[in-house]
Amino acid sequence: MVRFVQRFILSKKNHITLISAILIVFGFISGLGFQNETVAIWFLAIASMLGIAPIAIQAYQALKIRVVSIDVLVTVAVIGAFLLQNFEESAIVTFLFLFGAFLEQRTLNKTRSAIKELTEMAPESALKQMENGVFEEVLVDEVDVGDILLVKTGAKVPVDGTVLSGEGHINEASITGESVPVGKKKDSGVYAGTILENGTLQIVADRVGEDTTFGRIIELVEEAQDSKSEAERFIDRFSKYYTPAVLGLAIITWLFSRDVELAITLLVLGCPGALVIGVPVSNVAGIGNGARHGVLLKGSEVIGDFSRVDTIVFDKTGTLTIGNPEVADKEFYTDNVGGVLAYLASVEKESDHPLANAIVEHIGDTTLCRVERTDVVKGAGIVAYIEGHRVAVGNVTLMERENVHLAEKARADIARFEKNGNSLVLISVDGELKALMGIRDQIRPGVKEDLQKLKKLGVKNLVVLSGDNQGTVDLVAGELGLTEAHGHMLPGDKSKYIEKLKTKGHIVAFVGDGVNDSPSLALAQIGIAMGSGTDVAIETSDVVLMNSDFSRLPHALGLTKATAANMHQNIVIAVGVVLILLASVFLSEWMNMSIAMLVHEASILAVILNGMRLLRYQL
């Protein structure tokens, strides 16, 4: 029964706030307007008692588990004012505290709205195949791995799964941020939270609920928003002792001065609201803005480090370039071009190296020969036997190993191809050079402008590291205006290089595509993955640029800088207000309990509103 009453009172907090406001107005009308003090006192006393009820219940619940919360301070202060028969103050303080909490709740919900939008995109129901073969609508919680589901046009895909039958186009904007529909057919993978724009699909559930990519993104954002930076942990510890300390200070003040008013005023203005809420609000709003703009920031620690970054290291392929190399130049040293191409295509078909794929694609349809034996020479290429001929496909190193003579013309071609930023593939048959191919990757559109923006935001060093030859890397660096470029780098060399930068005192961010670059991603203070919703990218990095969208990078950096600045502003507001209030309670005449509460609530709203500005941040 007691519990029921408690819960009832708490659930009607907003009504209570409104009623006590009306009572206070009536109190002032009868007191000032009709000069009827007795009636006025009754109105104000009832308003106080009504208003303090929910606050006192919360205070009691906190004390029960030995937490001295803000509610305790306010309850003690109001009871004190009541005993002093200062009903005007007790009524106004309770009302302001309740009204402040109401406004705080409203505005806080706004800063949380970004994550709410995200969770609302999660599917709620699914059409599941029952034992009798009929599809029935069930809650998404009731779907298990292995279930067969039906997705109709316009519906959300309920789980991560594989297409069993049917065809259609899916809008994957919720995962990748890319709103161009992607075609799906048998054996294609589909993601929970994406929308089937046309067609009908039957899918098998591979991952359900929180395990889906979408579920994990939500979980990451949720946890990131709640993650605490060193500063916040300090404030947390601080406020744990701060509130009891304020209570103690008030008691001591009362013991020495015997001034109950003063002691009570101290209680009210000592509420640490703005300090406790200021930093997390900036954090939540910043991460929320990121989530909306395709940037996953994993926590406030990341925000702090990223905002101070002075060196950004890029992987080349797949990051600065599209990662889809194409044959750009070629030279033949034989009349039998068709024959060489047939050999080349046959050998390269055996490999899944990106350069090999580019060659196979370039050659297109041709008669394939039977490849008798292939040996992969690590870091150099492939040696194979076709129709009794020894065919070598690879770089200059391989040609040297094969004792292939490079004539004057061939050497000149090689130099020219390299200068143009090509990766080289040479083909020899029985020790004679037959062809040279130059393969080039396209620079991502817009990257140059994005790098300029990064420089404007204060990043001093922009470095590219690549396994490619130095010529190619230099060309890319020159074209993009990077400060340093290093080629011939194996994954191990890259992480060593980052280590070196760190020992020099640089704050380093590494941008990679998240699969082969994981050591560097982990080593840099900030690992930034160009992720297309893939597991590895989401999990191993500190920042994920959804859909591998490079243009999100300047936004991410600008956002973390704005967020860090916002946190500092909020700390200044919060500490400043408490200091001014404290000074004026001892030094001024005008300070009283109601004014203290008003300023206190105003400062809470000020830090929340300041934090909310981040939701609209745009670079």
Active site residues: 315
Pick the binder of other proteins from 18, 21, 39, 62 (CB under 8 A): 62
Closest distance between other proteins and the C-beta of residue 564, in Å?
Answer: 19
58 is a contact residue toward other proteins (CB under 8 A): yes
487 is a contact residue toward other proteins (CB under 8 A): no
Stretch that binds other proteins, among 101-109, 197-205, 384-392, 467-475 (CB under 8 A): 101-109
Distances (CA, A) of 111 to 32, 118, 281, 557: 41, 13, 7, 20
Pick the binder of other proteins from 173, 277, 313, 543 (CB under 8 A): 277
Is the CB of 70 or the CB of 485 nearer to other proteins? 70
Pick the binder of other proteins from 36, 69, 366, 374 (CB under 8 A): 69
Whole-number Å distance between alpha carbons of 400 and 384: 16
DSSP letter at 422 equals P
Is the CB of 63 or the CB of 582 nearer to other proteins? 63
Distances (CA, A) of 114 to 54, 218, 616: 30, 11, 11
Show the beta-strand stretches assigned E in 208-299: 295-297
Kindly identify the residues of this chain, within the stretch 379-408, that bind other proteins according to CB under 8 A. Answer: none
Pick the binder of other proteins from 61, 374, 461, 534 (CB under 8 A): 61
Is the CB of 4 or the CB of 590 nearer to other proteins? 4
Query: Residue 393's closest CA among 368, 424, 354?
Result: 424
Pick the binder of other proteins from 188, 239, 420, 551 (CB under 8 A): 239
Pick the binder of other proteins from 276, 344, 404, 437 (CB under 8 A): 276
CA torsion through residues 136, 140, 145, 149, sign: positive
Is the CB of 223 or the CB of 430 nearer to other proteins? 223
CA 176, 178, 183 angle in degrees (round to 5)?
A: 95
280 is a contact residue toward other proteins (CB under 8 A): yes
Looking up tokens 């929910």 gives 54
DSSP letter at 443 equals B
Token reading at 83: 């005993």
Straight-line distance from the first to the last Cα atom of the chain, in angstroms, rounded to the nearest whole number: 55
Whole-number Å distance between alpha carbons of 447 and 338: 38
Whole-number Å distance between alpha carbons of 370 and 385: 9
Pick the binder of other proteins from 19, 29, 67, 260 (CB under 8 A): 67
109-138 footprint of other proteins as x/- string (CB under 8 A): x--x--x---x-------------------
Pick the binder of other proteins from 35, 38, 65, 133 (CB under 8 A): 65
Stretch that binds other proteins, among 105-113, 423-431, 552-560, 607-615 (CB under 8 A): 105-113
Whole-number Å distance between alpha carbons of 221 and 297: 8
Tell me the DSSP string of 531-561: ESS-HHHHHH-SEEEETT-TTHHHHHHHHHH
Closest distance between other proteins and the C-beta of residue 239, in Å?
Answer: 8
Token reading at 509: 């961010």
Whole-number Å distance between alpha carbons of 285 and 288: 5
Pick the binder of other proteins from 57, 150, 544, 607 (CB under 8 A): 57
CA torsion through residues 550, 552, 556, 558, sign: positive
Pick the binder of other proteins from 167, 222, 301, 331 (CB under 8 A): 222
Burial class (CB in 10 A: 0-12, 13-18, 19+), 38: exposed
Chain CA centroid to CA 483, Å = 28
Whole-number Å distance between alpha carbons of 421 and 473: 7
Pick the binder of other proteins from 37, 117, 141, 259 (CB under 8 A): 141
Whole-number Å distance between alpha carbons of 372 and 75: 88
Whole-number Å distance between alpha carbons of 261 and 513: 63
Closest distance between other proteins and the C-beta of residue 498, in Å?
Answer: 32
Is the CB of 105 or the CB of 153 nearer to other proteins? 105
Token reading at 110: 């706004």
Closest distance between other proteins and the C-beta of residue 275, in Å?
Answer: 10
597 is a contact residue toward other proteins (CB under 8 A): no
Pick the binder of other proteins from 31, 53, 71, 78 (CB under 8 A): 71
150-189 footprint of other proteins as x/- string (CB under 8 A): ----------------------------------------
Is the CB of 65 or the CB of 255 nearer to other proteins? 65
Is the CB of 77 or the CB of 101 nearer to other proteins? 101
Looking up tokens 């946190």 gives 567
For β-strands 295-297 and 135-139, DSSP reports them as unpaired
Kindly identify the residues of this chain, within the stretch 188-217, that bind other proteins according to CB under 8 A. Answer: 209-210
Closest distance between other proteins and the C-beta of residue 8, in Å?
Answer: 11
Looking up tokens 């060593």 gives 496
Is the CB of 60 or the CB of 586 nearer to other proteins? 60
Residues listed for the chain: 619
Binding site for other proteins (CB under 8 A): 3, 6-7, 10-11, 57-58, 61-62, 65-67, 69-71, 101, 104-105, 109, 112, 115, 119, 141, 209-210, 222-223, 225-226, 236, 239-240, 273, 276-277, 280, 284
